[in-house]
């Protein structure tokens, strides 16, 4: 125990002398050296030595036992997205490791920094199809920023140091470290040195003065400029710089799905959010602007629609840290390959003051059309059935737009992101690029653990909720005070909408016969309620929001409600439908 105490002191970074310890303990100490205090995971045979080492560090490292490894990855994502730290998860070999893959793929496409540590069979059994062996490096290679297999104990500290450096620098992303069981059990002389540089890896490109000047010239000459604020704005902390650019040159701003909360929703220059189910004005007027300033976004197909008809009148200025995203989808006039905040700090002094009030007024005219045809009925319906939009409106009002909202994937996701008024940055957590059903509950769990003093609300549909509802067990065990709202329409709603609009109402296997969600929540010891009548809705939401502890609320909503506006898949954004 005397050696154990010395080792614990070393995790503070004060004691740097070498110590003889096991590989598994080196994993724990390396995490502590990186400032990790939270891990989500599920034990198993091949990672058991690491869990045995963790037993002696329960006071320094909080471990949350999830109910499925996919939940560990999503929880790590939620934690990372709201804290700005690297999320960490553990899984064993074989099926434990493969169960992480959906969350890792989600983190990769949405630029979320997580480090996944998996156990593996002993090194001499690699490639023999041993019990619970899988080629996790081969499987994860396309969906990780970096992966590495440790077969010797002495490789562990450097591998973990490199993993954290890669995960959090440049364009963030997931990293996987696979550690054989013999490496966990063998001993090494432990010494930890944080990684600060890797040869051939340059996460922060050097800004070119010419690019800054060229971009300023294009923006200053614009008559109808339009700024698109993406996820990279939030990742780089460039919200104030985007606001300054918009105000200085009087430029209208729209956000991507993951860029929501990067610009104040009540600002006169904010014109809504882009995409297939985004707002009418920013979609239509994309094809009318003469300069398109895209910051920290990758021109996803849900934003562009038909690229052959996208922003054809515009000169495109693209600020993006990942060089692979520049000119990949949309050809640029000027590209600034750099961190968004750094690029904007360089650019702002060269931007002239301007007045584009007439141009902004064009957005307001289209806003009125959308409000009359869509928004008014979504938020203040006259039908007997509860609509998703009014639920989200009330949640936004009750929380004053200050809650962390974690959405699943589907109709409710689009509605939540259309109507929740995010007042604080990084208060939206959603699965954007991969579109992972089942994301919300475990991600909300991780977000709540990362921000225990804030309100976290999970909004899911009945389909996505049932994909990961086992994480109610984790929420129950640790009394995680997340608020869970399930908008139940007894359908896979988004698929059903497409079947209605494009497949002649042939509802092929999208109607769901659901269990009694209240009994399920009750079985997990979570206070639960169901709302079926409009007159009960606001009180039920307020009760949920005020509750001290986890709470489950099922809201029965209109079964065949559709989400509009909508850009038909592959069509021009100009052809966005309002009905």
Given a cut of 60, whether residue 12 has pLDDT beyond it is: no
Q: What is the pLDDT of residue 16?
A: 53
**Among 145, 181, 224, 455, the one annotated catalytic:** 181
**78-88: average pLDDT:** 98
Whether 181 is a known active-site residue: answer yes
Q: What percent of the chain has pLDDT over 90?
A: 94
Q: What is the pLDDT of residue 569?
A: 85
State how far the Cα of 212 lies from the Cα of 452, in Å rounded to an integer: 41
Is residue 236 within 8 A of residue 321, CB to CB? The reply is yes
Q: What is the pLDDT of residue 5?
A: 38
Given a cut of 50, whether residue 10 has pLDDT beyond it is: no
Phi and psi at 119, nearest 5°, equal: -80, 160
State how far the Cα of 96 lies from the Cα of 89, in Å rounded to an integer: 11
Our CA angle for 98, 517, 434, nearest 5°, is 35
**Among 3, 131, 505, 560, the one annotated catalytic:** 131
Q: How far is CA 247 from CA 117, 241, 243, 337, 351, in A?
A: 45, 10, 6, 23, 11
For strand 527-531 and strand 483-488, is the pairing parallel, antiparallel, or unpaired? unpaired
Task: Select the more confidently predicted residue: 356 or 302.
Answer: 356
Whether 373 is a known active-site residue: answer no
**Among 33, 34, 69, 554, the one annotated catalytic:** 69
Our CA angle for 81, 432, 573, nearest 5°, is 140
State how far the Cα of 443 lies from the Cα of 243, in Å rounded to an integer: 29
50's tokens: 């690491």
Residues 6+ apart with CB under 8 A from 254: 226, 227, 228, 229, 270, 271, 272, 273, 274, 278, 279, 282
Whether 213 is a known active-site residue: answer no
State how far the Cα of 529 lies from the Cα of 532, in Å rounded to an integer: 10
Average pLDDT, rounded, for the chain: 95
Residue pLDDT, tens place only, 16-49: 567 899 999 999 999 999 999 999 999 999 999 9
**Among 8, 19, 48, 132, the one annotated catalytic:** 132
Residue pLDDT, tens place only, 432-464: 999 999 999 999 999 999 999 999 999 999 999
Whether 448 is a known active-site residue: answer no
Whether 454 is a known active-site residue: answer no
* Least reliable range by pLDDT among 5-14, 141-150, 438-447: 5-14
* Confidence (pTM): 0.94
**Among 101, 276, 445, 494, the one annotated catalytic:** 494
The domains of the chain, with CATH numbers, are 2-190 (3.40.50.970), 209-363 (3.40.50.1220), 380-556 (3.40.50.970)
């Amino acid at each position: 125990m005397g050696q154990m105490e010395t080792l614990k002191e070393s995790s503070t970074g004060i004691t740097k002398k070498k110590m003889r310890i096991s590989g598994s303990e080196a994993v724990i100490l390396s995490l502590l050296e990186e400032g990790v205090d939270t891990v989500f995971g599920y034990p198993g045979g091949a990672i058991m030595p690491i869990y045995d080492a963790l037993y002696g560090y329960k006071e320094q490292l909080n471990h949350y036992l999830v109910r499925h490894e996919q939940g560990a990855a999503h929880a790590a994502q939620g934690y990372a997205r709201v804290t700005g730290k690297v999320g960490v998860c553990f899984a064993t070999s074989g099926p434990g490791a493969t169960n992480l893959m959906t969350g890792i793929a989600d983190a990769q496409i949405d630029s979320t920094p997580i480090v996944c540590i998996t156990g593996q069979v002993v090194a001499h059994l690699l490639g023999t199809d041993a019990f619970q062996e899988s080629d996790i490096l081969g499987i994860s290679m396309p969906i990780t920023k970096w992966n590495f297999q440790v077969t010797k104990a002495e490789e562990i500290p450097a591998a973990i140091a490199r993993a954290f450096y890669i995960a959090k620098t440049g364009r963030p992303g997931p990293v996987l470290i696979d550690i054989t069981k013999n490496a966990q059990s063998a001993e090494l002389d432990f010494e930890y040195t944080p990684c600060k540089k890797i040869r051939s890896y340059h996460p922060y490109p050097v800004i070119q003065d010419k690019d800054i000047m060229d971009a300023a010239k294009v923006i200053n000459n614009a008559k109808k400029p339009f700024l698109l604020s993406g996820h990279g704005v939030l990742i780089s902390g460039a919200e104030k710089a985007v606001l300054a650019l918009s105000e200085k040159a009087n430029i209208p701003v729209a956000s991507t799905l993951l860029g929501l909360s990067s610009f104040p929703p009540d600002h006169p220059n904010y014109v809504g959010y882009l995409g297939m189910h985004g707002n009418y004005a920013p979609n239509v007027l994309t094809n009318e602007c003469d300069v398109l300033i895209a910051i920290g976004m990758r021109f996803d197909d849900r934003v562009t629609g038909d690229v052959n008809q996208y922003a054809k009148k515009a000169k495109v200025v693209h600020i993006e840290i990942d060089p692979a995203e520049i000119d990949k989808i949309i050809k640029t006039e000027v590209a600034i390959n750099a961190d968004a905040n750094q690029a904007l700090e360089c650019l702002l002094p060269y931007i002239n003051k301007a007045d584009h009030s007439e141009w902004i007024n064009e957005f307001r005219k289209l806003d009125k059309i959308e409000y009359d045809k869509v928004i008014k009925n979504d938020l203040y319906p006259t039908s007997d059935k509860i609509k998703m939009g009014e639920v989200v409106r009330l949640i936004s009002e009750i929380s004053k737009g200050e809650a962390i909202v974690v959405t699943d994937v589907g109709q409710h996701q689009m509605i939540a992101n259309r109507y929740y008024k995010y007042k604080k940055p990084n208060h939206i957590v959603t699965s954007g690029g991969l579109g992972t059903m089942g994301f919300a509950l475990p991600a909300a769990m991780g977000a709540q653990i990362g921000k225990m003093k804030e309100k976290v609300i999970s909004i899911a549909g009945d389909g996505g909720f049932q994909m990961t509802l086992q994480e109610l067990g984790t929420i129950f065990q640790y009394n995680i005070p997340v608020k869970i709202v399930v908008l139940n329409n007894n359908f896979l709603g988004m698929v059903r909408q497409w079947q209605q609009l494009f497949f002649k109402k042939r509802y092929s296997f999208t109607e769901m016969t659901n269990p009694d969600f209240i009994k399920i929540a009750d079985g997990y010891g979570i206070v639960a309620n169901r709302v079926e009548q409009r007159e009960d809705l606001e009180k039920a939401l307020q009760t949920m929001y005020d509750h001290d502890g986890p709470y489950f609320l099922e809201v029965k909503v209109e079964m065949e409600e559709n989400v509009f506006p909508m850009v038909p898949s592959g069509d021009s954004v100009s052809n966005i439908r309002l009905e």
